[in-house]
Structure 1
Amino acid sequence: MSGNPFRSLDLGLRRRLDSLVAGDHDSSRLGAGSEPEEVVRYQPGDDVRRIDWNITARSVDMHVWRSRADNQLDTWVLLDLSPSMAFGTVTGEKRDLAAQVVWAIGELTDAPGNRMGIATLSADGVRWGRPERSRFAAHRCGREMAAAGDREGTAAPLGSTIDAFSRRYRRTGLRVVISDFIDPDGHHEAPFEWQHPLRHLAARHDVIAVEVSDPRERELPNVGALTLVDPESGRQRHIWTGDRHLRDRYAAAAAQREVNVHRAILGAGAEHLDVDTGRDWIRDLAAFLRARRRTSHTVGRPGHNAHIR
């Protein structure tokens, strides 16, 4: 990575993100709070401490109240900087985009009393950052990433890191896992090794899984002979991209993996935000926040399916 990744966020992007933060606090801020917003039917994973016993007593179903974000939010971000994140074919690498998402989270959760800590997973191991004001934590992360540069080697498994992440920071709050969710061994079907730890994390916290991808991970270009290198192990494979059958099989396998990862994240009880180096990530974030707002008002109602993508 060259330079501070936040320098690429020009004034236009900053204004667009500011427009998400400004206005109605409830409609844009990320996180859980303590103010009751609505009472809904109990769903697996809901906090039993928020059961509304009065409504439950008058109904055949158990009900809980859901909250809107307040100004005492404890946010922790797990940022995957394993070698597979050092890949990009459009405007930058996946790790650059991940750093920008961290910046956005810092802006969206920044308020008096709020804190954010960032843990980074790389080939050097796991680094546990100290919690501080959300905006300051995000910018410090960007500076440290720029100074560290790229690292070669194999990182610890994402699943075991999420497990340690869950055990280390137990105070209920917002947890964000940013990764490409790519298995170093090429495993692309459920159950994934990170699935159960993510479910355990989501049982206690409000969890958002941010999947970072690149267009070339979904389809191969027709460029003739191509050498592919595994960033984790360094293994190489030579292929002929002029083979249409090969390109079709690659695209089909990649599409199925996307579906499998999406279902695994939702099945674990987390929310899924998909960002891509070839798309407008601010627009993706805005759409996610709008959908999150709608879900908070409709989940638990008859006929609603929160897992529809």
Structure 2
Amino acid sequence: MSARATGTGSKGAQPPSFRSGDLRDPQLSAALRTLELTVRRRLDGVLHGDHLGLIPGPGSEPGDAREYQPGDDVRQMDWSVTARTTHPHVRQSVADRELETWLIVDLSGSLDFGTTDCQKRDLAVAAAAAITHLTSAGGNRIGAIVSTGAQTIRIPARGGRINAQAMLKQIATTPHAPDGVRGDLRGAIESLRRPQRRRGLAVVISDFLGPIDWERSLRAISGRHDVLGVQVLDPRDMELPNVGDVVLHDPESGRTREFTTTPQLRADFAAAAAQHKAQVAQALRRCGAPLLSLETDRDWIADVVRFVAARKHSLGTAMGQSGSQGSQTRQGSRR
């Protein structure tokens, strides 16, 4: 449950607010310009190499996988397909310029919530902007599927900065879900499967607070796409404040309840929240999806930088180890 309330006292850089939801509002247009400038200024140079920290492979998009044959470069092993099929597979690569990224953006009622200077919805739009900046260079195409529970909006994948800006505007101005309408993350993920698309990158942006009924759908997506999960949370999603009596409203069920925040209730809430967060991380891991966690009270761009830098390091280490193993294998075969 959550309340549609906001407060102050946040830490770090905060994304601008998009609560007006009206493109004719000068404040919203200014907020989008501020967001774009912030992303470009803080990501350019720090994360040189565009999407290299988001998907495997040095400068290439994974194409369809095929079974490993003697002599294949083991650095191109597709470990996710290998694990699923129990047979070694390698990636067949296509050019960077042909990369297609799809954002699956959850804007259900639970994201209309924040107790710092921004709401989770604002953070979801900011995350979409960062992913767009990291993947849309060089003519790469990016599209989006936006779900509120009440409606699902499909924004076709197109290349170019103007189209990317138009996509972000459409995401930011998506109408809020009516009170009492539950989100449908599973349905949004399913919609990416129809029609079938060539392999690319699928990024799911959500608070993931609902039932974990989307795992099978995401696992099916991961058979063709590289996948990434971006979880946006508010501190009050994880723990209740010690404020005595409090009224909580769940925008997705429409229910309102009054509680007294006793130490036991706060402890039970924190334990349940931590357990659910761990279950989400485990489900994403089973789908082969790395998890980027963003919070409304943190410097979200710094968290993006750390995540991508860590991904680059881990991918580089894995590729180095694969190359070493492949060299040893080839030397052994020559003996």
TM class by shorter chain equals 0.7 to 0.9
- AA aligned to 1:99 is V
* Alpha-carbon distance in structure 2 between the residues aligned to 1:124 and 1:138: 24
Query: What's 1:49 paired with?
Result: 66
Number of aligned residues = 282
Query: Does residue 1:154 correspond to 2:181, yes or no?
Result: yes
- Could you tell me whether the CA contact under 8 Å between 1:47 and 1:204 is conserved in 2? yes
Shift of 1:112: 2.8
The answer to whether structure 1 residue 295 and structure 2 residue 314 are counterparts is yes
Q: Secondary structure at the match of 2:259?
A: strand
Shift of 1:66: 8.3
Is 1:253 aligned with 2:264? no
Residue among 198, 202, 223 paired with 2:222: 202
User: Do residues 265 (structure 1) and 292 (structure 2) align?
Assistant: no
What TM-score do you get using the length of structure 2 for normalisation? 0.74
| Aligned residue among 107, 111, 120 for 2:137 | 111
1:210 offset after TM fit, Å? 0.8
1:170 corresponds in structure 2 to 197
Question: 1:142 corresponds to which letter in structure 2?
Answer: L
Map 1:124-135 onto structure 2 (within 5 A): 124-133=150-159, 135=161
The partner residue of 1:228 within 248, 257, 279 is 248
Higher relative contact order (CA 8 A, sep 6+): 2
Rg larger in 1 or in 2?
A: 2
Please, which runs of 5 or more residues in structure 2 have no aligned partner?
Answer: 1-18, 21-27, 75-86, 323-335
Q: SS state of the match for residue 293, structure 2?
A: strand
Classify the secondary structure of the residue corresponding to 1:168.
Answer: coil
| 2:219 counterpart SS class | helix
> Judging changes above 3 Å, is the alpha-carbon distance between structure 1 residues 145 and 55 closer, same or farther for their aligned structure 2 residues?
closer
RMSD: 3.1
Do 2:65 and 2:89's aligned partners in 1 also have CA atoms closer than 8 Å? no
Provide the rounded CA distance (Å) in 1 between the counterparts of 2:203 and 2:116: 25
| Equivalent residue in structure 2 for 1:215, among 230, 235, 255 | 235
2:305 to 257, 281, 286: 286
1:8 Cα deviation from its structure 2 partner? 4.5
How far off its partner does 1:96 sit?
A: 0.7
Percent identity over the alignment is 39
For 1:66 and 1:278, locate their aligned partners in 2 and report how far apart those are by CA, in whole Å: 41
> d(CA) in 1 for partners of 2:92 and 2:315?
8
Contact 1:198 1:270 in 2 (8 A): no
Q: CA separation in 2, counterparts of 1:196 and 1:33?
A: 26
Please report how far the alpha carbon of residue 278 of structure 1 lies from its aligned counterpart in structure 2 after TM superposition. 1.1
C-alpha change, 1:80 and 1:26, in structure 2 (3 Å) is closer
Distance 1:150 1:36, change over 3 A: closer
Separation (CA, whole Å) in 2 of partners of 1:278 and 1:298: 32
Q: Counterparts of 2:247 and 2:199 in 1: how far apart (Å)?
A: 46
Q: Secondary structure at the match of 1:270?
A: coil
For 1:87 and 1:121, the matched residues in 2 are separated by 16
CA contact (8 A) 1:203 1:269 kept: no
Question: Could you tell me how far apart the structure 2 residues matched to 1:36 and 1:100 are?
Answer: 26
CA distance in 2, matches of 1:106, 1:25: 10
The alpha-carbon distance between structure 1 residues 69 and 90, as it changes in their structure 2 partners (threshold 3 A), is farther
5+ residue gaps, structure 1, are 38-45, 303-309
Q: How far off its partner does 1:26 sit?
A: 7.1
1:200-259 per-position Cα deviation (integer Å, ceiling 9, x unaligned): 111111111111111110111111210110111210111112x11111111111111111
Q: In structure 2, the residue corresponding to 1:9 is in which secondary structure?
A: helix
The answer to whether the 8 Å contact 1:273/1:285 transfers is yes
